[in-house]
């Protein structure tokens, strides 16, 4: 079973995914994509850590998500991937490829080719894993059109990814205010 939870920021996706994972399996591996970039992000990551049961395996992987899914599939159990939104940004703009000496406010160059290769490999890993998998992502396309090219690129790539993931999943839910609405 492949389940996709999609919703806005702070919609309750991650909490719902964790609850469903705990209800469905005693053996869970949480594959997380967030990285500490500042104090506020560190606090968010810490809050997610406190919400997870201590006996769950955690695999931190900001970019090579397909490899993480393949590796953790061998260990068995349910896989919980949280979240595709941060993963997309990590792949499009790897920190080591951003020019720190660039003019402040300059648009960083996105790694489109690397992103598309990793995205396609991830979709294959989702389709081929024998494990149950729950995937979490933000819905980013229901607001205003972003005013700058970088934000538009991110929104477009995230929207395409969400469509592709929804296409390979058995069940897709839109989560709002912690409530799941089944779309597929």
Contact 161, 137 (CB under 8 A): yes
pLDDT for position 99: 57
Q: Which of 130, 137, 134 is nearest to 162 (CA)?
A: 137
For the whole model, what pTM was predicted? Answer: 0.91
Q: Report residue 57's pLDDT band, with 50, 70 and 90 as the boundaries.
A: very high
- What CA–CA distances, in Å, run from 169 to 1, 57, 128, 140? 8, 23, 12, 19
- The strand pairing partners of 133, in sequence order, are 2, 79
**Mean pLDDT to the nearest integer, 25-52:** 89
Question: Residue 102 above 70 pLDDT?
Answer: no
Catalytic residue among 48, 55, 59, 116: 48
Split into its structural domains, the chain has a count of: 1
pLDDT tens per residue, range 136-174: 999 998 878 888 888 899 999 999 999 999 999 999 999
Report how far apart the first and last C-alpha atoms of the chain are (Å, whole number). Answer: 13
CATH of the domain at 121: 3.40.50.300
How much is the average pLDDT of 64-86? 96
Return the pLDDT at 48: 84
Instruction: Report how far residue 171's alpha carbon sits from residue 62's, in angstroms, rounded to the nearest whole number.
Output: 25
Which of the four pLDDT bands, split at 50, 70 and 90, describes residue 96?
Answer: low
What mean pLDDT comes out for the span 31-40?
Answer: 88
Mean pLDDT, residues 13-28 taken together: 96
What SS3 string covers the chain?
Answer: CEEEEEECCCCCHHHHHHHHHHHHCCCEEEEECCCCCCHHHHHHHHHHHHHCCCCCEEEECCCCHHHHHHHHHHHCCEEEEECHHHHHHHHHCCHHHCCCCCCCCCCCCCCHHHHHHHHHHHHHHHHHCCCCEEEEEECCCCCCCCCCHHHHHHHHHHHHHHHHHHHHCCEEEEEECCEEEECC
Residue 104 pLDDT greater than 80, yes or no? no
- Answer yes or no: 48 catalytic: yes
- Rounded to 5 degrees, φ, ψ at 126 are -65, -45
- Containing domain of residue 26, as a range? 2-97+106-182
Percent of the chain at pLDDT > 90 equals: 71
Out of 11-15, 55-59, 130-134, 150-154, least confident range: 150-154
Sign of CA dihedral 139, 141, 142, 143: positive
């Amino acid at each position: 079973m492949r389940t996709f939870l999609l919703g806005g920021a702070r919609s309750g996706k991650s909490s719902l995914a964790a609850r469903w994972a705990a209800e469905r399996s005693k053996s869970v591996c949480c594959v997380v994509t967030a990285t500490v970039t500042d104090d506020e992000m560190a606090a968010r990551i810490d809050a997610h850590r406190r919400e997870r049961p201590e006996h769950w395996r955690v695999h931190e992987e900001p970019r090579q998500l397909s490899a993480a899914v393949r590796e953790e599939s061998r260990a068995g159990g349910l896989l919980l991937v949280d979240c595709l939104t941060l993963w997309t940004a990590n792949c499009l703009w790897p920190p080591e490829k951003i020019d720190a000496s660039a003019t402040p406010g300059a648009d960083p160059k996105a790694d489109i080719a690397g992103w598309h290769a990793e995205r396609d490999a991830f979709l294959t890993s989702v389709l081929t894993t024998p494990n149950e998998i729950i995937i979490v992502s933000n819905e980013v396309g229901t607001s205003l059109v972003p005013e700058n090219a970088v934000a538009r690129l991110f929104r477009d790539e995230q929207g395409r990814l969400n469509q592709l993931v929804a296409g390979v999943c058995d069940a897709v839910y839109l989560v709002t205010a912690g409530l799941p609405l089944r779309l597929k």
